[in-house]
C-alpha cells in the first residue's frame, strides 16, 4: 500500500455548543493543521498515488473556506446576524464544531474529490499536542 500526505494550515476559531470545559464554549481560536492521507495499492502511470499539486488544487479550497473564520453550531446561530459587518466571518455548521466533528466534515467533503479505490484519512490538529482523525 502506498500513502501520500499533504498538510494544509489555517487560522480559525469556533464556539462549542457543549463541552466539558466552559472555556471552550466561548469563542476561541486555533492554528489548525489539517493532514490529508491518500493511499492506493498501485501507482499511476507517472509512478504516483496522486500528484501533490492536484491535492492542493482539488482539496485545498475545501479547507481554505474555514481560514480566518469562526465556526458556530447552528443551534447557537440565532443572533449571529446582529453582528452586522462581521457576519461573513462566521460559518454556521450543522454540528458542534469539535476537532472530531470538523475532521469528519472535512473527510466527507474531501471524499467526494477522491476516486473510488483510494483510501482516505483526515487528521486535524487543534494544538501541537492534540489532534483528531477520521477514516473508514
Give the model confidence (pLDDT) of 62-107 as tens digits.
Answer: 888 999 999 988 887 666 665 655 667 888 899 999 999 999 999 9
Integer Cα distance of 127 and 125 in angstroms:
5
Q: 79 burial class (0-12, 13-18, 19+ CB within 10 angstroms)?
A: exposed
Q: Greater confidence, 23 or 9?
A: 9
Residues 56/38, Cβ–Cβ less than 8 Å:
no
Would the pLDDT of 35 be above 60?
yes
Q: Quick one: pLDDT at residue 78?
A: 64
The grid cell for 129 is 499536542
Contacts of 56 (CB under 8 A, 6+ apart): 6
pLDDT tens-digit readout, 20-29? 777 778 888 9
CATH superfamily, with its number, for domain 2-68+98-135: 6-pyruvoyl tetrahydropterin synthase/QueD (3.30.479.10)
Amino acid at each position: 500500500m502506498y500513502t501520500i500526505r499533504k498538510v494544509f494550515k489555517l487560522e480559525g476559531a469556533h464556539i462549542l455548543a457543549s463541552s466539558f470545559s466552559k472555556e471552550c464554549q466561548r469563542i476561541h481560536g486555533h492554528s489548525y493543521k489539517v493532514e490529508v492521507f491518500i493511499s492506493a495499492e498501485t501507482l499511476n502511470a507517472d509512478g504516483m498515488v496522486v500528484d501533490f499539486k492536484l491535492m492542493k488544487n482539488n482539496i485545498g479550497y475545501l479547507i481554505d473556506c474555514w481560514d480566518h473564520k469562526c465556526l458556530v453550531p447552528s443551534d447557537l446561530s440565532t443572533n449571529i446576524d446582529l453582528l452586522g459587518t462581521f457576519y461573513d466571518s462566521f460559518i454556521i455548521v450543522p454540528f458542534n464544531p469539535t476537532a472530531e466533528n470538523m475532521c469528519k466534515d472535512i473527510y466527507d467533503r474531501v471524499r467526494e474529490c477522491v476516486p473510488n479505490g483510494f483510501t482516505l484519512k483526515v487528521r486535524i490538529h487543534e494544538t501541537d499536542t492534540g489532534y483528531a482523525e477520521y477514516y473508514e
